[in-house]
Each structure stands twice: as structure tokens, then as C-alpha cells.
Amino acid sequence: MSNNIVVIDDEVLILGFLKDVLTNEDYDVEIFSSANKAIKYIDENEVDLVITDVQMNEMTGDDILNYVKKNKPETGVIIITGFGNVSHAVRSLQKGAFDYITKPFKAKEIIQRVRRYFEGANSEISSADSLQSKLSDNNSDKTRTQAIKESKSPLTNTNNEVDFIGEAPAIKRLLDILPQLANNMAPILIQGESGTGKEVFASLVHSKSKRANKPYIKINCANLPSELVESTLFGHVKGAFTGAIADRDGAFHAAQGGTLLLDEITEINIQVQAKLLRVLQENEFYKVGSQKPVKADVRILATSNRNIGQAIKNKEFREDLYFRLNVFPVEIPPLRDRKSDIPILTKYFVDQYCYKYDYPDLEIDQKMLEYLEGQNWRGNVRELNNKIHRGVILAQEDGLFKVDHIENSIFTSLGINDDEEDINNIPLMTIEDMELHLINKALEKTNGNQKEAAKLLGISDRTIRNKLKEKD
């Protein structure tokens, strides 16, 4: 009997890639771009393994994990994400995930993880009965499950449009020109540091355009497997390359009549950039392995957090493609240049997470707002969002959201930090490496005392001994 796998990701082209790879390994695979539809399917069918992305519109991968572990505890969960870091991986394992894979990954990597799950080679530290979080209890699990069942947040409008929040002069100027940006077909290049909200602004452009009811396809160019970039964008015909077991449409076909967002476009191989330029110039493209042109009725939005001028000098980005994309240049300011928006953003995120977890409303301490306004915010709005998220969870018993709730020592005692600079400097690790990293940090803190380190991690000292033996 085949093993049944559900894959959830709102990037339809990643879904197609995973379906091809796993079906080729004789697994029965159901794919969903809608998390709500996936949950319904999981409720009504026997599913052995769920593979879910982290950042999605309807639910997060964490929401999916919580729901599956609560309602289908016998079903395994593998998390995939383009924004991986050690602290999030550890939290996922604490909540019961079997494994955690960071994009970009190759086909053989996902196959190895899935095989290991079905072969029952689940290590103790990754299992549901170990590495349990000291912060969770039955009540918090219950409220999270209730929140998962809600399909719509009051902070999201009817077409899943996420608000672009701010009243700083630079933000007001962007919002003032939004109607002109939205209601034309010219490409838009959105630049800004990581975490400033480039993708959010791009989504707003689409939602305000005449194409709002047409497809909106988002491609993170930095996360595309290198061997599949061209196929992902343009599609391929059967037999075009090894593994092309059927005809497959690409992003441009999926976005016909609508909008295609090329997130971090400067990460695309320069040879593929030439083919993108052709689409912009001639409004047509070719599937890989085909000589038949396909007309493209697609509006292009692109983002980049790099210095494009330097990328052009380094011959990493085509100058002619830059000029073709840069009809409407948009610059999203960093949070340090719009600190007057911090109170508004803080209130927005606090309300968002109180609603998400079905928590009572929180009062925000004025001293905390002053503290937030005094920070440098290298990770911009994303970093602020992350801090508010964890702070809301810790503030529930107090009812007043204070500095202590976002700078709690529990987040730094093991050397885990979610600042943007630290995240970018974390090397890609296997789950085994992450486990050992955490154990070693705990042992450092306890001067080598395995029992104390085990208490700190919330696992047994036997687990630590076993993991250290495996290392040797």
C-alpha cells in the first residue's frame, strides 16, 4: 500500500515540483495551495505525512503543525521554509515536527527526509514525547486550535489583502501614488532592505489593480532549485530534461491575465535573465524543450534587497533588464527612517496576534513603545513583527505588554537570537546539526552537567547521551 502525503504551499509551482518528485517515488500525493482546503482533506482522509510551507496566506506552517498534532497525532509533519533559522527549527521540533528543511533544497534532499520518516528512523530528540516546550500547556494548545479554525482575520480584507501600515511621510507618498501604480501594465521594481515590506506592497498593488480577480503568482527567486529555475518560470515539455516525466506549466502560464511577482529577482541566473527580458519585450515565452512560442498576458512586479548598480557592475544582473523593469521604481524605507510608525505597527501586530490566538486585548506599556522607538531594527518591520509575536504570547498573564515580554532571557540563554544580522549569518544545518548545536549550548551553560542541560532543554539526560554518542 502506498504512503499518503499531503503537501501544502501557496506557491503552486513548488507544489508541482514536489508532486512530481514524490509521485516518482511511488507515494500517493495530494497538493493544496489553500491551507483551509488541506485541513478539510486531512480531517476527512487517512494521511500519513504532511509537508507544509511556513509562510502562507490562510495559515502558517506552525498553525498546520499545531492542528495536525492536536487532531491527527499519528500523522507526521515536515516543515519547509525559505526563512529558516535555528530557533524556529527548534520550536518546530518542540511542537512535534518530524523534520525541518530550509529552501532551496534539491529533490534528493526531500526524498531522503520522506524516506527516513516512513522507515521509522525518527530520532528521540525529534519525537513528539521529547524536547517538549516549557512554555506550552493544555490551555495554550486549546486557544491555538480555536484560532486555527478561524478562516478570516479582522485585519485582513475580503480578498486576503494585507494592509501596508504607516503614516510616515515616505509611506504616505507610496500610498498616494498607489492608484497610478496599480492601474497600468508597466513593470514595477520595488527595492528596499530585507524585512521592509516589499512583498506586502507588491500584493497591495495587485489587489488595487484591474487584475485583482485574476491570478497572483509569487515566485521567490532566491529559493528556486538552481536546476529548475527556467522550468519553474516558463514550464517544460515531457522529456525536456531528466525528471521531466510530464508536461508542466510554469509561472508565466499560471499568471496569465494576472500578475507575477518575482521576489528577489537579482538572484536569478544571468542566462535566464535574458529570457525574462524577451518576455518583457515581446510578450511571449518558450517552455523548456519546446520551439512553440506562448503569448504572455502577465503584469510583472519585481523586488530586490540588493544594490542593483553593484550587481550590474559585477555582471550578476543585466543592465537592459534593469531598465526594462525600472519603469516605476519604488523604494520602501527602512524602519529606522520611519520610527514614527512604530506605535502604529506595534498596535497592529498586537491586535493581530491577540485575535490569532484568541487572547484578550492587551494594553501596551508606554515605556515599551519608547524602548521600541530607540532600537536600530536591522531586520526592519519583520524583526519588529517577530518580537511582538513572541511578546504577545508571554504577556497574557500580565495583561500589560511590557519590555520584559520581548526581551525575556529565555530567548538568549541558549545563544538563540532572531535579529536579522544573526539569522543571515546562521549556516544551513541538518536537523541533526541543529540538535547538537542546542545540546552543546546547553552543556556550555551548565559547565558540562548533562542532567542540568537536560532540564534546561526539557528532555531526558539519556537523550543527550544518545545524541552525543551518535555524534561520535
Answer yes or no: is pLDDT of 306 > 50.
yes
Asked which of 289, 305, 333 is the last residue of a domain, the reply is 333
In a domain, 261, yes or no: yes
* pLDDT of res. 368: 93
Residues 191 and 329 in one domain: yes
Work out the pLDDT band at 61, boundaries 50, 70, 90: confident
457 is written with which cell numbers?
532543554
* pLDDT of res. 130: 33
Residues 326 and 446 in one domain: no
More reliable by pLDDT, 378 or 417: 378
Residues 395 and 465 in one domain: no
Work out the pLDDT band at 434, boundaries 50, 70, 90: low
Tell me whether strands 216-220 and 188-191 are parallel, antiparallel or unpaired. Answer: unpaired
Residues 316 and 354 in one domain: no
Size (the chain), residues = 472
What's the rounded mean pLDDT across residues 51-75? 87
Range of the domain at 379: 346-422
* pLDDT of res. 10: 80
Supply the DSSP string of 173-194, one letter for each residue.
HHHHSHHHHHSS---EEEE--T
pLDDT above 70 as % of the chain: 80
Asked which of 333, 354, 383 is the last residue of a domain, the reply is 333
In a domain, 85, yes or no: yes
Residue type (1 letter), 194: S
- Interatomic CA distance for residues 261 and 202, integer angstroms: 7
In a domain, 96, yes or no: yes
Stretch (H or E) spanning 343: helix 342-356
CB-based contacts of 110: which residues, under 8 Å, 6+ apart? 18, 21, 22, 51, 80, 101
In a domain, 427, yes or no: no
* pLDDT of res. 153: 29
In a domain, 433, yes or no: no
What's the rounded mean pLDDT across residues 7-24? 84
Partners of residue 424 on adjacent β-strands: none
Residues 190 and 327 in one domain: yes
Supply the DSSP string of 417-461, one letter for each residue.
---HHHHHHSPP--HHHHHHHHHHHHHHHTTT-HHHHHHHHTS-H
Give pTM, 2 decimals: 0.60
Residues 350 and 294 in one domain: no
* pLDDT of res. 84: 52
What's the rounded mean pLDDT across residues 43-55? 91
Residues 175 and 322 in one domain: yes
- Interatomic CA distance for residues 94 and 130, integer angstroms: 7
* pLDDT of res. 127: 35
In a domain, 435, yes or no: no
Residues 457 and 405 in one domain: no
232 is written with which cell numbers?
519553474
- Interatomic CA distance for residues 418 and 156, integer angstroms: 26
Work out the pLDDT band at 157, boundaries 50, 70, 90: very low
Residues 321 and 255 in one domain: yes
- Tens of pLDDT along 173-213? 999 999 999 998 999 999 999 999 999 999 999 999 999 98
Answer yes or no: is pLDDT of 444 > 90.
no
Asked which of 333, 365, 388 is the last residue of a domain, the reply is 333
CATH number for the domain harbouring residue 139: 3.40.50.2300
In a domain, 160, yes or no: no
In a domain, 126, yes or no: yes
Q: Which of 302, 208, 183 lies closest to 251 in space, CA to CA?
A: 302
- Tens of pLDDT along 338-396? 999 999 999 999 988 888 777 888 999 999 999 999 999 998 999 999 889 878 877 87
Helix (H, G, I), strand (E, B) or coil at 380: helix
**By the 8 A CB rule, do 368 and 403 touch?**
yes
Q: Structurally, how many domains does the chain consist of?
A: 4
Residues 81 and 189 in one domain: no
CATH number for the domain harbouring residue 192: 3.40.50.300
More reliable by pLDDT, 55 or 371: 371
CB-based contacts of 43: which residues, under 8 Å, 6+ apart? 71
Residue 116: Cβ-neighbour burial (10 angstroms; 0-12, 13-18, 19+): middle
Residues 8 and 128 in one domain: yes
**Other C-beta atoms within 10 Å of 242: how many?**
7
Residues 407 and 455 in one domain: no
What's the rounded mean pLDDT across residues 55-82? 86
CB-based contacts of 151: which residues, under 8 Å, 6+ apart? 36, 58
